[in-house]
Amino acid sequence: MERIVVKSLKELPYAAREFIKATKDYSIIALYGKMGAGKTTFIRALCAEMGIEDDVNSPTFNIVNEYRDDRGQTVYHFDFYRIESPAEALDIGFYEYALSGDLCLIEWPQKIEQILPQETLKVQISVLEDESRVITISLDREDMELSGL
């Protein structure tokens, strides 16, 4: 388990670089955190560090956005907040995305927990009393305090 502390927005680029180094072997990354924890903001910072010049926003209504990094690699950004069941994720072809080998960044993964591939990297973003964030990276589900809705 690894932790990255982000005390302010100014530290996001550094945190994103550290995160990319720590997670470079994973293509499916599930970001857990309460509403307002900063999941989309952190994904925006990750995309910036990967050279993505597109406007990175939460795909709440689209469910998935597609970006290209500075090497031409595809990055998929999912937001499952508005889905009612894992079947909806399957209907949009979630497994095809997940098995593509391209980077998949997933917000609200608890909505599809039962269909996430076993090799999914679990990331918890927690907000501390001083409004700083702690990003906890873990492969072991038992290590994570998975946030509910």
* Digit-coded pLDDT (tens) for 53-78: 988 988 877 899 999 999 999 999 99
Model pLDDT, residue 149: 30
Spell out the CATH class of 2-140: alpha beta
Could you tell me which residues come within 8 angstroms of residue 122 by beta carbon, excluding any fewer than 6 positions away?
A: 30, 32, 137, 138, 139, 140, 141, 143, 144, 146
What pTM was computed for the model? 0.90
Domain ranges of the chain: 2-140
